[in-house]
Amino acid sequence: MLSALTFLAAADIPAKSSSQEIFARETYPEARPPLRGFRAPILDHADELWPFNLPDVDSTPELHAASTIIQTQLASDGLLSTTAQIFAALPSKTLPADAAGLLDFFKRAGLPIDLLAAFIPSDQPSTSPAATLQSIQSLVLHDHVPASQIASRFSFAFQPSAPGFAIACEDGTSDFAQIRLQLPSARYWQGLGDGGAVDIARQLTERISSARFLIGIPSDQREAIEQLLAPGAHASKASVTYFSSSLTLAQWAQDNGKPGFISAASPKLATIVPRYASRGEDGATFIPGETFIADALAETGPTVIQSPLLFQGGNLLAYHQPSTGKKILLIGEAELYRNIALGLSQDQVLQAFCSEFNVDQCITLPAVSFHIDFELSIHIQGNRMLAFVNDQTLATQAILSCTLQPLVSLQLLSNESALEAAQAIRNKNFESALSIIMPPIMDQAVSPGRVPLSFAKNFAVGSSDSGVGNMQRILLAADLATACNVPLDLNDIDPDTQTYFRALRRLQSDRAALQHQLEDLGFVLVPIPSLADGSRCLNYVNMVQGKTRLLLPAYGGLFSPVDAQVRQIVQDKLGADVQIVQILTGETQRRQGGLHCAVSAYYEP
């Protein structure tokens, strides 16, 4: 059966008048919004214009003053106290007298006024942003309540953006219904099997043909991408629907929206997207392309909902706790701070996430990696709660083992030495192993730590493998072993390497603490030979869980033996009822991502 290919062009993005605050969509910068309250005008809120920049020189002194208070106090003092401080600081006659004007003033000053609706005055059953604003004004100006005590006059009750929406659990209890991807361009980085964005799409549409695919693409790449993934170009039988944007798109479909359901007589697939799509962990950098693609996605079928909260999808993982029946949402700590910056307290953020994603409890995890999906993947089987986690020592052993054959082939290592090194690796005697493996590599170095490209190329296996990427992983494994497994007095080495090794040791310690936390939550840890270190990762826990099929990242090339080792570990743990589908992701991993980062899976209700 031929693929059902359809193409939905994104609605032309309306150019909005350019003024002090409002950008045309095409001209929004990729930046941290100077105004904290900025909310992207998309979906049902497309007509709500939220200013992006600070008040300009023509704005009133009051607006400037309010903006400064919001910038400096919102994260530390919270939404209510900050608002009260503005009322206390500005003469009331300088503020708009009507509710709509007042609301607009605060919006232009940078207050996330939409979140005011979550704060209900103690004497009222419900509220609106305007009503909460007026209540604060009255408490400050008439009742003379200090700003620091304003919060006690309100209760917090965050209302979900779409009642009935529930986040999908990524815990292996359901099968795939749809898969959303994004392709930045219409080309393989190195060729078939390179594990880049196009190659992942090719593999998935070939091998998960029962799922429907939604693929976001750049408008100007439409024909080329259709040709690459069209029936005949490969063995795909999948149903593919394309949607497009004229703005730059990244590969990371996971991060700009989270799949779920809207409960109804027959549950409907839905996607919830953040206040605006962002990147970065030190604050939130607005990404226009990743944000505005939501409008085109909505045209493809699934309901798309915009949340007033900020989040990056790779930092959220939901699962069912079998012993209690509760639905739990794990949240990477960066998401907490991103929303504290909007004026919510830590408890309020967690309450808001529980309500918005319809879960019973939210648990925060430390940012050991950039996102938590680089540190764990969950699979629930009956009453067993499995957490696949990175095991740095296993990974170091696996990578160093893969280094031996090329060295022997290059006649830089004798067979006897290689056997001796292999034995040392198995025994975790890294000092001995490194003393055999590293001198022949570093003999090639043109200066300390700098390996010639001509030499690194010898560590590629196959035309789509990367000798550069592989050598970087070998160097990292050697560094990790030296820093964390070899008794070494750091005072004996140069200050820069000391600093680096200390950072590696702290990473290992943080990871151990995270894994203890998971055990305390009732998870049985499944150690995987897997590393998470930015663009030098060899990561396998960034997997996509399904009930009968699990999508497992593979790296290919030199590290194919590690792929096979991980597959065996996962298969042994899950049993024969779960089909392991390995997806090559080498180039994606060399770009600081992985399979789960690139795949947004919708599950059967």
Partner 1 sequence: MLTHVRSLFVALAAFVMVSSRAFAALPAQSQPQINPDDPMQVQVRSNLIKQPLGDQTLAVLDLPDQFLSRVADRIIRESFEQNFRIIVDTQPAIQPASAPGAPASLPSAATAPAPASPKKISPLFWTLPIPPGLVIVLMIVIRRNRRKASL
Using CB under 8 A as the binding rule, whether residue 337 contacts partner 1 is answered as: yes
Among 16, 32, 268, 428, binds partner 1 (CB under 8 A): 32
Using the rule CB under 8 A, give the single segment among 43-51, 66-74, 222-230, 260-268 that binds partner 1.
Answer: 66-74
Token pair listed for 22: 């409002």
Q: What is the DSSP string of 106-159?
A: HHHHT--GGGGGGEEETT-S---HHHHHHHHHHHHHTS---GGGGGGGEEE-PP
Amino acid letter, 414 = S
Least spacing, CB of residue 442 vs partner 1, in Å = 5
Taking the C-alpha atoms of residue 68 and residue 46, their distance in angstroms, rounded to an integer, is 27
β-bridge pairing 212-218 and 176-182: parallel
Least spacing, CB of residue 129 vs partner 1, in Å = 22
Read off the DSSP letter of residue 343: T
Among 371, 379, 547, 549, binds partner 1 (CB under 8 A): 371
Least spacing, CB of residue 475 vs partner 1, in Å = 5
Using CB under 8 A as the binding rule, whether residue 516 contacts partner 1 is answered as: no
CB nearer to partner 1: pick between 288 and 467: 467
Least spacing, CB of residue 325 vs partner 1, in Å = 32
User: What's the first-to-final CA gap in the chain, in angstroms?
Assistant: 26
Of 229-268, binders to partner 1 (CB under 8 A) are 248, 250-252, 255
Token pair listed for 421: 């090194």
Among 510, 580, 604, 605, binds partner 1 (CB under 8 A): 510
Of 462, 502, 495, give the one whose Cα is nearest residue 479. Answer: 502
Using the rule CB under 8 A, give the single segment among 6-14, 92-100, 141-149, 477-485 that binds partner 1.
Answer: 477-485
What lies within 8 Å, CB to CB, of 188 at 6+ separation is 194, 196, 198, 199
CB nearer to partner 1: pick between 124 and 463: 463
Contact 472, 493 (CB under 8 A): no
Among 283, 322, 527, 605, binds partner 1 (CB under 8 A): 283
Using CB under 8 A as the binding rule, whether residue 224 contacts partner 1 is answered as: no
Alpha helices in 332-391 (DSSP H): 333-340, 346-357
Using the rule CB under 8 A, give the single segment among 91-99, 137-145, 259-267, 508-516 that binds partner 1.
Answer: 508-516
Tell me the residue length of the chain.
Answer: 605
Using CB under 8 A as the binding rule, whether residue 471 contacts partner 1 is answered as: yes
Least spacing, CB of residue 598 vs partner 1, in Å = 8
Of 181-210, binders to partner 1 (CB under 8 A) are 184-185, 190, 197
- Write the interaction track for partner 1 spanning residues 532-561; mark x where CB under 8 A is met and - where it is not: -xxxx--------------------xx---
Token pair listed for 436: 């055999």
Of 248, 374, 253, give the one whose Cα is nearest residue 312. Answer: 253
Among 502, 524, 561, 568, binds partner 1 (CB under 8 A): 502
Token pair listed for 179: 């898969």
Least spacing, CB of residue 576 vs partner 1, in Å = 33
Using CB under 8 A as the binding rule, whether residue 340 contacts partner 1 is answered as: yes
Using CB under 8 A as the binding rule, whether residue 326 contacts partner 1 is answered as: no
Least spacing, CB of residue 249 vs partner 1, in Å = 9
Contact 535, 590 (CB under 8 A): yes
Using the rule CB under 8 A, give the single segment among 235-243, 393-401, 575-583, 590-598 that binds partner 1.
Answer: 590-598
Residue 193 falls in which region: left (phi positive, over 0), alpha (psi -120 to 50) or beta? left
Among 10, 21, 35, 398, binds partner 1 (CB under 8 A): 35
Taking the C-alpha atoms of residue 149 and residue 161, their distance in angstroms, rounded to an integer, is 28
Place of tokens 């699962």: 319
CB nearer to partner 1: pick between 67 and 132: 67
